[in-house]
Amino acid sequence: ALADIFIPILPAIVTAGLLMGINNILTGPGIFYDEKSFIDVHKNWADLAGIINLIANTASVFLPGLIGWSAVKKFGGSPLLGIVLGLMLVHPDLLNAWDYGKTKDIPTWNLFGLPIEKVGYQGQVLPVLIASYVLAKIELFLKKRIPDSLQLLLVAPITLLITGFLAFIVIGPITFSIGN
């Protein structure tokens, strides 16, 4: 199952790695010049390196979106909902997971007295894998029970709401702890 999930996204990951290598050649000190990088000496190349870096990091930054697409597809759900789920887990309104350890005051939602940390899952695999499985199962369950005429209006919103709440209240915190 893991191979079926990760093999389709390998081209994006490999491309990101190759482009990161090019970026590192341009920005790494001591490669072309003693103690200076190529872009330190040739300033006009800095923006090119910046664009290469952005392109290279996109697959890593939005990895949960890629995994969500592939995992939900593997588990029999709608791949588009998987993308939305994955991107929801790295939404800019959430505290970036890379800053989690540096932050003393973690923002929270107060859901009827239940504090829920507003933390993103950048670079995390387990939260999106488990949430994708849950999403696919909820979607399939609802599709069997909701009439065809109402599926467009009900299945996706209900599926994303339930999975979203579970992802931020249960799945994310537990899998984040396991990952750490």
- This prediction has a pTM of 0.87
pLDDT score for 146: 97
Summarize the confidence of residues 29-49 as an average pLDDT: 94
Residue 105 has pLDDT above 90, yes or no: no
Query: pLDDT class for 97, splitting at 50, 70, 90?
Result: confident
Instruction: Give the Å distances, CA to CA, from 157 to 100, 112, 149.
Output: 29, 21, 15
For the segment 109-153, what is each residue's pLDDT rounded down to a tens digit?
A: 999 999 999 999 888 899 999 999 999 999 999 999 999 999 999
Q: How far apart are CA 28 and CA 37, in angstroms?
A: 5
In 3D space, the residue among 124, 106, 126 whose CA is nearest the CA of residue 115 turns out to be 106
